[in-house]
Amino acid sequence: MTVQVQKYQNRASEHLILEGYRRWSSGIITGDYSHWQDVWNMYAVNLGAREGRIALDALVRFTKTLGLCAACPLKTSPVGCYSLCRDEVLILGLVSGIQHDEKTAITLCLDGLTCPTRCGEVLDAAEILAVTLRAMDKTLLPIPARTIKAILTENISTDTLQ
């Protein structure tokens, strides 16, 4: 069965990660820090002020770590876009893999996002984000390792996740 990407993005758990990452990155890239306020508002509305701050801190740590450790500049789709680029699937796959203890998916995502010497740093930051969100009942849907592998090796479309 194929699950449309839109179904993933319409879930609060995936939306917090994906749009949070996009907006935080946009603030860094453009220097328009209103994107950061948008992320805060999204997290506060979805999680409450206290939990939102905790989860946002985990997202920021992950985003900064990933930015420092990426094997090459990571790509992101525009804010609000329903399409996912390869790197966004890997980010969702990494957090989901941690939440569902899918070691193969975790390894594939780390290998696709960062260089081998920096995988530990990215994993540590991703674990904090994944565990924080799971503790707040924001568990992502699983993304099977076979889908992640196909995206990495066969350049398949990221319009569907199965």
Task: Answer whether 93's CB lies under 8 Å from 113's CB.
Answer: no
Task: Reduce the DSSP state of residue 124 to 3 states and report it.
Answer: helix
The domain tally of the chain equals 1
End-to-end CA distance of the chain: 6
Which secondary-structure segment (H or E) carries 42? helix 34-47
Q: Summarize the confidence of residues 46-68 as an average pLDDT.
A: 96
Residue matched to tokens 């876009």: 81
pLDDT surpassing 90 at residue 42 = yes
Q: Please, which pLDDT band fits residue 157 given cuts at 50, 70 and 90?
A: low
Residue matched to tokens 């076979």: 146
Sequence-distant (6+) residues with CB within 8 A of 109 are: 90, 91, 93, 94, 97, 148
What is the pTM (predicted TM-score) of this model?
Answer: 0.90
Lowest mean per-residue pLDDT among 17-31, 102-116, 120-134, 143-157: 143-157
Domain that holds residue 21: 3-161
